[in-house]
Structure 1
Amino acid sequence: MNRSLPGICAHRGLSGAMPENTLPAFAAAIAAGAQEIEFDLFPSADGIPVVSHDPDLARVAGVPHRVEELTWREIAGIDLGNVFGDAWRLLRIPRLEEVLDLSGGRVGLNIHLKTAGPGGSLVQTVCRELEKRGLSGAAYIGGESDVLEAAIRYAPGVERSCMAGQNDPEKLVDNAIRYGCRRLQFFTNFSPKAAERAHAAGIRCNLFYADDYAEAVQAVRNGIDTVLTNRALALLNEPASIFRTPHR
């Protein structure tokens, strides 16, 4: 496998410095020079892909409801300043299309679908919005087996990232091969042997996650291609950073 320079994926945007999974966090990560941004999606009650890591909005918004229980109009009216303070007053939760438009093809998109949606509807919507903007080649869809199966069915041309079986590195590699994935996402319990096996199958290896530069470098030495981090700016600005690519 021809491995390029190691990359940084800004986990939920520049989440170590500002509210996660928000447009400012993604814009800051792009400005910092991250090669990819990662974000999470759940469908709203009316089928809109909403950028949220948690199934409910209690932690990030102080709202005791699941994403899937609320319409997009209700979600769009939530003020994240109620949780994150006055500096973030009027900040809101974005929907998929806003993040895609912000990215503008300038950064890779690591899209984590927490569910395939009823009948694979969330997968279909994501792929349709990517195609509409010419971003299918800049993105990959990560998820469990239900998401990967739906992606194979509805969007075989969009790259897939295996997250099925992450607690067992060898099983994760098995599943990545089974679902024809070009990527997988290890937890920190991965082994160099598992990464080598993935590379032999033509699969790139992501790591969730490393916020310390030395740990990130060691992960790369052990076979990781892209490191997810909450501190993208710090890792990129480390003197002589191995993650600072010439095009930055």
Structure 2
Amino acid sequence: MTKKFLLYSSPVMVLFLAVALFEPYIYLHFLTSPVIDKSLKKEHFDIIAHKGASGIAPENTMAAFRAAIEMGVDMIELDVRNTKDEEIVVFHDEFLDRTTNGTGAVHDYTLEEIRQLDAGSWFDPKFRDERVPTLKEVLDLINGRCKVLIEIKHMDHPHYHDFAEKLVDVIREEKNGYEWIILQSEEVEYIEAAHEYDDHVQTKKLMIGEDSAPLIAFYVETKMHLGRAKEDDRMKALNPEYHTLSTRRVFRMHARGFQVYTYSPNNREDMVKMLHMGVDGIITDYPQILIQIRKDIEAL
């Protein structure tokens, strides 16, 4: 009886697993509307500039942050690293090579050495004067004009042993910094260290890293962290990659008490689909597109 049951039920089980695995793909490509309609008028969403307005200026530079502020975004997302002399700079990669004319790991250079590098020409020669900024410089520029989402990159290096605490110290220096500056990380230990150091700091859990394989990572990260995050009332939001989402999954995260901020859809169609799925915010390289979508919704 058992063998027969397994034999006849196995195709159904395989089909169920396939549908579950590819659920986000099905929703994104077949089930979710790319059209703005009146149903979106009741949806509030945040416009979050990914590494600044990194679609029109070199990422994580003052030019990108100034552009995002001028557009009127709700929030700016940026990345931080530590230098050899343990100064916090705004930089995404572990290594300098992709977005500067330098080479090697960020933490192998002092701040003064990194300041000599060209951080803009790789994007466009007109940005050749852009330099890698410090976190303090960027926060002073923003000065509460929008919220800031600081992503802490994981590094197994002595310079990073008290990195979360150093970030909190920088936040404390900003006027009303607790209100408009938020820490996020894929690594729970950074978030926990920040709260142990100062429980006033706001945090988000980055559910899936930018370098993860989205479909696999969704299940792994959900099993490992979602339940744990729910036990911590301080953790209010999750940031899944947009290819991992479906309307049902967003609903489930909302039902567990989390806001959902997805990254990084960069065209109008995908942005509108994410809004139809019910996300609370979109992190994008092209915030100007999302700003226009908001205007189009308001005009209905």
3-state SS in 1 of match to 2:295: coil
1:55 aligns with 94
Query: Which of 23, 47, 50 matches 2:62?
Result: 23
Aligned counterparts of 1:199 and 1:239: Cα–Cα separation in 2: 22
Aligned counterparts of 1:239 and 1:192: Cα–Cα separation in 2: 20
1:182 counterpart = 2:236: yes
Aligned counterparts of 2:273 and 2:51: Cα–Cα separation in 1: 22
**How far 1:234 sits from its partner (Å)?**
2.1
Aligned counterparts of 2:74 and 2:120: Cα–Cα separation in 1: 29
**How far 1:165 sits from its partner (Å)?**
5.1
1:107 counterpart = 2:146: yes
1:223 counterpart = 2:278: yes
How big is each residue's C-alpha offset from its partner over 1:88-121, in whole Å with a ceiling of 9 and x where there is no partner?
Answer: 1221001100110011101010110103775652
**How many residues are aligned here?**
242
C-alpha contact 1:13 1:21 (8 A) present in aligned 2: yes
Aligned counterparts of 2:106 and 2:263: Cα–Cα separation in 1: 24
**How far 1:4 sits from its partner (Å)?**
6.9
Query: Which of 178, 184, 188 matches 1:145?
Result: 188
1:13 counterpart = 2:68: no
Aligned counterparts of 2:81 and 2:257: Cα–Cα separation in 1: 30
Aligned counterparts of 2:230 and 2:45: Cα–Cα separation in 1: 22
Query: Which of 153, 157, 171 matches 1:130?
Result: 171
3-state SS in 2 of match to 1:97: helix
Aligned counterparts of 1:90 and 1:67: Cα–Cα separation in 2: 19
Aligned counterparts of 1:14 and 1:165: Cα–Cα separation in 2: 22
Structure with the higher strand share, 1 or 2 = 1
The normalised TM-score by structure 1 is 0.88
2:33 aligns with none
**How far 1:81 sits from its partner (Å)?**
4.5
**How far 1:139 sits from its partner (Å)?**
1.6
Aligned counterparts of 2:265 and 2:255: Cα–Cα separation in 1: 24
**How far 1:68 sits from its partner (Å)?**
0.8
Aligned counterparts of 1:16 and 1:202: Cα–Cα separation in 2: 32
Q: What is the Cα-based RMSD across aligned positions, in Å?
A: 2.3
Q: Which moved more, 1:195-204 or 1:23-32?
A: 195-204
Aligned counterparts of 2:241 and 2:294: Cα–Cα separation in 1: 26
How big is each residue's C-alpha offset from its partner over 1:11-57, in whole Å with a ceiling of 9 and x where there is no partner?
Answer: 00110111000011011001101100000001111111111110011
Tell me which stretches of 4 or more aligned residues in structure 1 moved more than 4 Å: 116-120
The normalised TM-score by structure 2 is 0.74
C-alpha contact 2:268 2:290 (8 A) present in aligned 1: yes
1:97 counterpart = 2:152: no
Structure 2: segments with no counterpart, 5+ residues: 1-41, 210-216
Distance change >3 Å, CA 177–CA 60, structure 1 → 2: same
3-state SS in 1 of match to 2:122: helix
Distance change >3 Å, CA 4–CA 46, structure 1 → 2: farther
Structure 1: segments with no counterpart, 5+ residues: none
Larger radius of gyration: 2
3-state SS in 2 of match to 1:45: coil
Structure with the higher helix share, 1 or 2 = 2
